[in-house]
Chains A and B, each alone.
Chain A
Amino acid sequence: MWVVRVAVLAAVLVHGVGLVAYVVAWVAVPRRGEDDGLAVRVWRDRRERHATVATTAVATVLVLVLAALGHGLGVAAVWPLLPTVIGAIVVWRGASTEERRALSASLTAPVVRVGRSSGWRATAVRVGLGVAAVVAGLNLLVASRTAASPVTDLLGGLVVTGAGLLVLFTPWWSETVRELAEERLARSRAQARADVADHLHDSVLQMLALIQKAADDPVEVTRLARKTERDLRSWLFGDERAARDSVAARVRAIESDVEADYAVRVETVLVGDAPVTEAHEALVLAAREAVVNAAKWSGAPVVSVFAEIAPGEMSLYVRDRGRGFDPDAVGDDHHGVAHSIVERVARAGGVARVTSRPGEGTEVELQWRTVP
């Protein structure tokens, strides 16, 4: 390898040929372990190509503008400057992601270190640099009125003053921004906690107080506990059940309403869901009637509801293991209710069946299906 290096160095002396060759080789020849050279990589990737062309164009314009303004950048200076800038751009765009990260880290590390550090030495460096830049910039600005090239001096003065101000105030500013963000986060957390506390106070704490008062009445205690549980659960598990326009939500509502009014537990099992139609609605209302009926008459502590729901189809079962009744006996109050359930469902185009035997509980079965 050293032979090549010496040869290149020697070639530099011959009108800089070695230099050009070195740069061309660097850009074009793939490195060990890689398939493509830098230039090929940039050219292959359409996005990289566009980015390179665009940044090159901007850089060229900038260099030319600087040259036109004069001030030490004569036409002679443009020729070495332009290839350097373009070369840097190609190298940057062609670098792999890791290389780019390493490159930018090594370029910015000292700046970041000085900028982040709050030690007195770093602060002194920062303040010294900033003040120096501001003073130099202001000097340039003042001098620009009498200078030979006022525009350049004016621009230069502005840039240098701005840079000085940035160096002076960026750490303070970024600190303020960070503190603001932290404060906002803390406030939103506190807000969330306050919401939870509010809700728990409204529902759970009130209910616990009521439960303590009703300690002698087991039925009331159970009812209150169930209601609290239901409220809390619907609050915790979200809004899916708050949507009242789905059949499942309406069946679920039977559970909460009946449990609120009667001392029974309603266990609801749901499969599927659908948007509410008239027929669905009729079946849900019939099921509600059946659940209320069971709660009032059966004497069973639990009423089971099972619903299988689909658009254009629904089965609902309401079952208790209470005292039951004899379907053949007429005139009985809750038998009349059973009768009205059957009629209601029949009007909607469905079928209802009530099965009951004294001592073994009752099951109401509601079926409806659109004719295909």
Chain B
Amino acid sequence: MRPRVFLVDDHELIRSGIRAELADRVEVVGEADEVDAAIAMILERRPDVVLVDVHLPGGGGRAVVEAVRAAGGSAAFLALSVSDAPEDVIALIRAGARGYVTKSIAGADLATAVEAVAEGEVVFSPRLAGFVLDAFRDLPAGTTPDPELDQLTPRERQVLRLIARGFTYRDVGIELGVAVKTVESHVSAVLRKLQLSSRHELTHWAHERRLL
């Protein structure tokens, strides 16, 4: 069954481009170009996947994700952006998005990412893997309130590094000698840590990064 997809992007050209690219593999059930309309229509049409732009007039993609989730919407969110600003992307993931891809992604890859998110998987682009490695970088053991959530395991780091290098989940599995399912569960664990971790580095990290 083709996943039902909703598009939120303030650029008509981008929306029609995505619609054209995804046409054979998903069913686009609606689109919106600003936050409030998006929230109302998503709650009404109940899509499986929402492709949401990081930057939107009226609060950004984050506002859409937060409002829909707060209202009990079950859609999975995939962040889509041209933005390089890591803090915006991380904020959207922390709000509950299940992955992040850049708009320069090839059409077939985007469709694959949408299908993956529709099935409950997590989509880590190389860039997101880099952001996450950066966010969890250089933290001496024992300095955080909750090491369980505030640290990545060596294996998770290994997986993220491979993804950052451009490996697909399948390639990562082959490289590490494990099943693709195992790779997916590592990535889900990283996403959970990213969303639940309370480490204040996550909020200060963006500022530090800007100073570099």
A212 to chain B, nearest CB (A): 16
**Contact A304:B133 (CB < 8 A) given known A265-B104, A273-B212, A363-B165:** no
Question: Size class of A's contact patch?
Answer: 20 to 34
B160 to chain A, nearest CB (A): 9
**Contact A248:B161 (CB < 8 A) given known A237-B85, A271-B134, A319-B166:** no
| A267 and chain B: residue at smallest CB distance | B126
Q: Tell me whether A317 is interfacial, beta carbon within 8 Å.
A: yes
How many Å lie between the Cα of A310 and that of B134 in the bound state?
11
1/0 contact string of A130-161 vs chain B (CB within 8 Å): 00000000000000000000000000000000
Pair A270/B166 contact, Cβ less than 8 Å: no
Q: Tell me whether B44 is interfacial, beta carbon within 8 Å.
A: no
Residues of A within 8 A of B84 (CB): 233, 237
A224 to chain B, nearest CB (A): 15
Question: Size class of B's contact patch?
Answer: 10 to 19
Residues of A within 8 A of B137 (CB): 271-272
Pair B161/A308 contact, Cβ less than 8 Å: yes
Pair A317/B165 contact, Cβ less than 8 Å: yes
Q: Tell me whether B173 is interfacial, beta carbon within 8 Å.
A: no
Q: Tell me whether A196 is interfacial, beta carbon within 8 Å.
A: no
Q: Is the interface of A mostly helix, strand, loop or mixed?
A: strand
Residues of A within 8 A of B127 (CB): 267, 269
Residues of B within 8 A of A328 (CB): none
**Contact A319:B164 (CB < 8 A) given known A237-B84, A267-B127, A304-B126:** no
Pair B130/A240 contact, Cβ less than 8 Å: no
Q: Tell me whether A60 is interfacial, beta carbon within 8 Å.
A: no
Q: Tell me whether B210 is interfacial, beta carbon within 8 Å.
A: yes
Pair A240/B212 contact, Cβ less than 8 Å: yes
Residues of A within 8 A of B161 (CB): 306, 308
Pair B212/A248 contact, Cβ less than 8 Å: yes
How many Å lie between the Cα of A240 and that of B207 in the bound state?
12
B167 to chain A, nearest CB (A): 8
Pair A304/B85 contact, Cβ less than 8 Å: no
1/0 contact string of B88-115 vs chain A (CB within 8 Å): 0000000000000000100000000000
| B136 and chain A: residue at smallest CB distance | A271
Pair B165/A319 contact, Cβ less than 8 Å: yes
Which residues B2-33 have CB closer than 8 A to chain A? none
Residues of A within 8 A of B134 (CB): 270-272
Pair A306/B212 contact, Cβ less than 8 Å: no
Residues of B within 8 A of A310 (CB): 138
| A272 and chain B: residue at smallest CB distance | B137
Residues of B within 8 A of A265 (CB): 104
Q: Tell me whether B118 is interfacial, beta carbon within 8 Å.
A: no
Which residues B154-194 have CB closer than 8 A to chain A? 161, 164-166
A267 to chain B, nearest CB (A): 6
Pair A306/B165 contact, Cβ less than 8 Å: yes
Which residues A215-244 have CB closer than 8 A to chain B? 229, 233, 237-238, 240
1/0 contact string of A310-341 vs chain B (CB within 8 Å): 10000001010100000000000000000000
Q: Tell me whether A123 is interfacial, beta carbon within 8 Å.
A: no
Across the interface, A269 reaches (CB within 8 A) one of B85, B164, B212, namely B164
Q: Tell me whether B78 is interfacial, beta carbon within 8 Å.
A: no
Q: Tell me whether A55 is interfacial, beta carbon within 8 Å.
A: no
Q: Tell me whether A256 is interfacial, beta carbon within 8 Å.
A: no
How many Å lie between the Cα of A238 and that of B85 in the bound state?
11
How many Å lie between the Cα of A61 and that of B64 in the bound state?
67
Residues of A within 8 A of B82 (CB): 229
Q: Tell me whether B79 is interfacial, beta carbon within 8 Å.
A: no
Please list 13 pairs of residues, one from A and one from B, whose beta carbons are closer than 8 Å in the complex, sorted by A's number.
A229-B82, A233-B84, A240-B210, A248-B212, A267-B126, A270-B130, A271-B137, A272-B138, A273-B212, A304-B165, A306-B164, A317-B165, A319-B165
A contacts, CB < 8 Å to B? 229, 233, 237-238, 240, 246, 248, 265, 267, 269-273, 304, 306, 308, 310, 317, 319, 321, 363
B contacts, CB < 8 Å to A? 82, 84-85, 104, 126-127, 129-130, 133-134, 137-138, 161, 164-166, 210, 212
